[in-house]
Amino acid sequence: MAESVQTPVSQPHSQAHSGAYRQPGGMRGFVSDWASDQQAFKNVSWGKAMMWIFLLSDTFIFGCFLIAYMTARMSTTVPWPNPSEVFALTIAGHEIPLILIAIMTFVLITSSGTMAMAVNFGYRHERRKTALLMVLTAILGAAFVGMQAFEWTKLIHEGVRPWDNPWGAAQFGSSFFMITGFHGTHVTIGVIFLFIVARKVWRGDFDTGKRGFFTSRKGRYEVVEIMGLYWHFVDLVWVFIFAFFYLW
């Protein structure tokens, strides 16, 4: 009797373990995944898949912003302000071009690195290290937003408005406030959620299977990875903004 019970039960269990390796890989795997029943993303949970799809939609939003900026910059007959000079800072008597933006870039990349390590420690169930790395990520993110606020204040004092600026094409201000403002909003939301998830990790919610207050679902350490996907995306968008808006 025990034998007959064991066999049908152990089958789905072993499939779940080695299923990823038994499925065909490459192009054949792609076709069979998408042609299969119920689930196209075989070893990706719905939470992770939905975060990816959200990030794809966000890619289109930022893509449209950057295209609007490209169109404005290409179609204006007035010279575009030189970002190298606009975003220069005078430190110890020397005018260093783009220095604040460079520091912001390094801060955001560093926060991405700490986030990646937090995900790693999360899957090892080392909750203290995970929570501390997430808090460090959030602090670096908050520092980024702080520097952006400083940059906005400086430019507004120098007379940059969405409709006007002292150096050239009027569309510079609207593009700048639109793109960096939307990105800064993303960073701010990320910082808030980093603190929320870090608190859950610190309390051990994902070890004890405590239910979340909003969805009343049991959290898993995968939540840290999904949070990480969002955070890395914010860094990813900054890579494109840095290249196209500040360096171009």
Partner 1 sequence: MAQATVDTSAHVQAPATVPAEHQQHPIKLYLVVWGLLFVLSVCSYLVDYIGLQGYLRWSLIVIFMLLKAGLIVAVFMHMAWERLALIYAILLPPIAVLVFVALMAPEAHYTMLTRLEFFGAAPGN
- Within 35-54, the residues that bind partner 1 by CB under 8 A are 40-45, 48-49, 52-53
- Quick one: 20 or 149, whose CB is closer to partner 1? 20
Least separation in angstroms between residue 192's CB and partner 1 is 21
- Quick one: 29 or 212, whose CB is closer to partner 1? 29
Q: Which of 86, 112, 173, 201 binds partner 1 (CB under 8 A)?
A: 112
- Within 162-201, the residues that bind partner 1 by CB under 8 A are 170
Under the binding rule (CB under 8 A), the answer on residue 211 touching partner 1 is no
Token match 């309390």: residue?
203
Least separation in angstroms between residue 199's CB and partner 1 is 22
Least separation in angstroms between residue 169's CB and partner 1 is 9
- Quick one: 67 or 189, whose CB is closer to partner 1? 67
Q: Which of 144, 172, 233, 245 binds partner 1 (CB under 8 A)?
A: 233
- Residue 58 CB partners (closer than 8 Å, separation 6+): 186, 233, 237
Residue 201: CB atoms within 10 A of its CB come to 28
- Within 86-105, the residues that bind partner 1 by CB under 8 A are 97-98, 102, 105
